[in-house]
Structures are given as C-alpha cells and as structure tokens.
Amino acid sequence: MKKITFVISEVKLHEHLSVMALSASLKNSGHETSLVFIQNDPLNKNKILKALKNENPDFIAFSFMSGVKNQYFDLGTYIKRHMDIPIIIGGPAATFDQSLSNIKDNPFDAVCIGEGDLSIIEFVNKYNQGKNLTAINNFIIESGNGNQLKGDLLNLVEPLNQLPFPDRKILYDKDDFLRNSKIKMFISGRGCPYQCTYCFNHKYNSMYKGKGKIIRHKSVDYFLEEICKTKKEYPLEGIIFEDDIFIIDKEWLSEFAEKYPKRIGLPYMCYVRPNLVTKELARLLKVSGCYSVRVAIECGNEVLRNKILKRNLSNEQILKSCQILQDENIKIGTINILGLPTETITNMRETLELNRACKPDHVSANMFIPLPGVDLTLFAVQKGLLDEEFNSPKSTHHISDMKYPDDVKRFLYPFKALFPLMVLKKNIETITPLLMKLPGPLLKMIDSGYRLYRNAKFYPPVRFSIREKWEALRRFLTIVSR
C-alpha cells in the first residue's frame, strides 16, 4: 500500500471533482490518500510543507487548470527543495501545455495525460523512484538519464459504473464550507462531441480517436445511488450537474426524468446546448426537477461565433431554445466570452443585444482565456495577437496577454464588468457611458456584487445562513481580485 497526498492551494467555491474521483480510485485499489488544503494565505507554502511532512506520503499529487500553473510550479519547486518525494501532476494543463510535459524543465516527476482514473493506480504500483523505470500508460516520466519515457494512452474508461463513487470525504473533512454547503456538484458522464475552438475538448477528442466512445454516462441507477449516498451523509438541498451538456443523450435523460423525482426530488441546475433543445427535452428537464439551465451564447456575431469559434449555432437557434425553456418556466442563464481574437467593439455590442433578446434570468460575462494547445489560441498566435509564450490569467475575470487594439483594451473591462447589469437592467443605458468611466476597483465591486446577487436568484433555491453567505462572498472576492 502506498500513500498519495493531494494538494490544493487555491480558493474553491465548489468541489474539486478530479481530486475526489482519483482519490476514490486509489482507495478502491487498496492505497491510502489524504489532502492538504490550504488557501489564500501568504504563508501557505510553509504551511503546506509542514502539513506534507506530517502526512509523510509516498507521492504528492496536483491537479490544476492553466490559470494557476505558475502557482503550482512555484509550490512544486519549493516542496522539492525540502522533500525528496515524487510529485505527480494532471488535469487539462498537464495534458496540453508543452511547458509542463517537458519534465526536465520543471519540478514535477510525472505528468498524467488524459484520463487518470486507472493509470494513476498503475503508476503508484509501478513507479520506483530513480531506478528500473519503465514506461507507464498515460504518463510521462523522466528515465533518470535526462530522457523521458512516455507510456501508451489507455482507452477511455467505459463503462463509468466500474469507477467507485467520488471520494467526497477527502475534501469535506478539510473544508467545512464545502461540506456544509446545501448545493453540491455532481457529474453524470464524460465527453463532448463538439469542436469549439476555445475549449480543450476538440483536442481531447482527437487525442483519443479510436480509443473508445467519447460520450459516456454512468447508468441512471448508479448515478442516483451516488447522489442518495451523498444526501444521506452531507447537507444537500440543491444540485449542480457539471456535465458539459447534460441533455446530450435523450434516452438517458428520459430514464433520469422518470426516476430522479422519486429517488432524489431536489431542484437542480445543468448546462444545455441550443441546437439540442426541443420541446420534448425541455419537458423532460422540467418534470425531472430542473430549476435552471445555462446556455452558452459566447458571441453575438454569427460569423465570429461559427467561423472562428466553430460553435455552428445560429441566432435563431439560440433564441428559439431560450423560448422553449422559458415556456417550461425553467430559468435561463447565458454564458458569454468577451475579448475574443479579432473581436471588435461592435461585435461585443452584438453580444449584448443578443443576450437582451434572450431575456435571461442570469448573465455570465467572461474574459477570453487563451488555453495552451487549443485551436483558438493557435489562431491568435498566427494573427499576431498573442505571443507564443504567454500566461493564462488566473480566472475569467482578468484580461489576458492578448494584444488588443487600444480602443478595445480600454473598452473591454468596463464593458465586461457592466455587461450583466446592461442586459438585465436595460433602463441604465442612459448612464452607461458614465459608468464605463468609473475606476477599476469600483467597476469590480459592481461586477462582483451584481453577479452574486443574481446567483442567489438563479441557483437552485436553498436557504443559506448569513455566515455561509459571508464565506461565499469572501471566497468569490478572493478569486476575482487575485
């Protein structure tokens, strides 16, 4: 038996699904896992190091997104100066960022590529630090002589029922806020078949071509048992289904709509895609207990949306899908990206007008984040709008390293900060030019405050104490201000 300690050193508003899944797989195979979760503290490197020494693990594991890559790189370097323990990294950043997969230039000993549920078990069983190293599936490791060994890519996990339920205990034992939150995240399946150029899924699908079905679901009964178990053990009054597209399998959704109200019966939020929304699917969502959905518009200009982003969605489809959902009294939340490569101020105003036409209950306006390896990032580099060496911002609330024209750069953050307010409160239009001139910190307060206010009305309806609301506000402000 080996011990693997996961480290999370960033502020979290929701569960870290990958850590829970990997911990469950390792425990199911007879290994021991633990978690060091220290966030938002100027001395957190020292605290993390002390906590790791107390845990005394055989392996240390990080799973992170591109925006916090530097944070974990620095942490890994610091740990390596004080502890001789192999560090494993995984997640989208590890899979697609070439600077991370070149192990000799970073403090990590192993990089997990793609799905790690099964391969991390093989790694822990086989890895022998510094000697007799052989290639391990889904992993890049250093051979000891300066070269790297890269294992074959395992087929995608199927069926998903073979995986144990996510290990929520590892996270909830370390974070009272997440444990006691009455809204929790679940994921029913994996995979997205679409080619959106700003997302890593199109690269993921190419990487796994011929290695199994891209779209996979847990069986409805297995998934409901997972939710039931969580409901028995922890507070749970509302659910967020974090699947990329919850409605992608009509047959699965039909069975879910029949069984979920009887076994669970809690209001939930999920993600849908406009071209898949029909009256029948909207009815299934409603009868199953869906309270709200998020619909990705991304951009109001059809040429930019379809030729550059490859969304293949017309304005008519978007508007029609919103109307169908509203007819079922399902709340609509729109998702948008501002500051896209080649996007103009006129294009951003088109996004505003399309959102207004959708009449949403909630609006999310995010800055474009260039992700390593994806097609939209490569497009930006080819157009001279982004250097080949760049840093992804820590969150979608920050402007990236994109080389925007001066007028776009001046316009971008004020427009983003006021975007939800301009969509949902059209009567402020007369004072919008004045609001756009407000100082950055004040705009950030408007952006954060209004977003949280609308979240409370859009998320599944549960009651939170003043203390819980305050902690959620603190964490949110930490994320947007860092």
- Residue 357, pLDDT above cutoff 70: yes
Task: Calculate mean pLDDT across residues 335-361.
Answer: 98
| Average per-residue pLDDT for the chain | 93
Helices assigned H by DSSP within 90-200: 92-96, 98-101, 119-126, 168-172, 176-180
Find the range with the poorest average confidence among 21-30, 157-166, 343-352, 428-437.
Answer: 428-437
- Residue 162, pLDDT above cutoff 90: yes
What pLDDT sits at residue 450?
A: 87
- Residue 39, pLDDT above cutoff 90: no
- Residue 41, pLDDT above cutoff 70: no
- Residue 42, pLDDT above cutoff 60: no
Task: Calculate mean pLDDT across residues 444-455.
Answer: 85
User: 369-415 pLDDT, tens per residue?
Assistant: 999 999 999 999 999 999 999 988 877 888 899 999 999 999 999 99
- CATH code of the domain made up of 181-481: 3.20.20.70
What pLDDT sits at residue 478?
A: 73
User: 242-283 pLDDT, tens per residue?
Assistant: 999 999 999 999 999 999 999 999 999 999 999 999 999 999
The dihedral built from the CA positions of residue 177, 183, 189 and 192, taken in this order, carries a sign that is negative
Helices assigned H by DSSP within 209-360: 220-233, 250-263, 279-288, 302-303, 315-327, 345-358
- Chain centroid to CA 79: 26
Confidence of residue 481 (pLDDT cuts 50, 70, 90): low
| Model pTM score | 0.94
User: 327-337 pLDDT, tens per residue?
Assistant: 999 999 999 99
Whether 3-150 and 181-481 share one fold: the answer is no
- Residue 9, pLDDT above cutoff 90: no
CA dist 115 and 228 (Å) reads 26
The secondary structure of the chain in percent helix, strand, coil, rounded to multiples of 5, reads 45, 15, 40
CA dist 353 and 103 (Å) reads 47
CA dist 11 and 269 (Å) reads 22
Confidence of residue 130 (pLDDT cuts 50, 70, 90): low
Confidence of residue 310 (pLDDT cuts 50, 70, 90): very high
| Strand 110-112 versus strand 238-241 pairing type | unpaired
Confidence of residue 307 (pLDDT cuts 50, 70, 90): very high
Tell me: cis bond preceding 159? Omega within 30 of 0 counts.
yes
Q: Domain boundaries in the chain?
A: 3-150, 181-481
Name which CATH class applies to 3-150: alpha beta
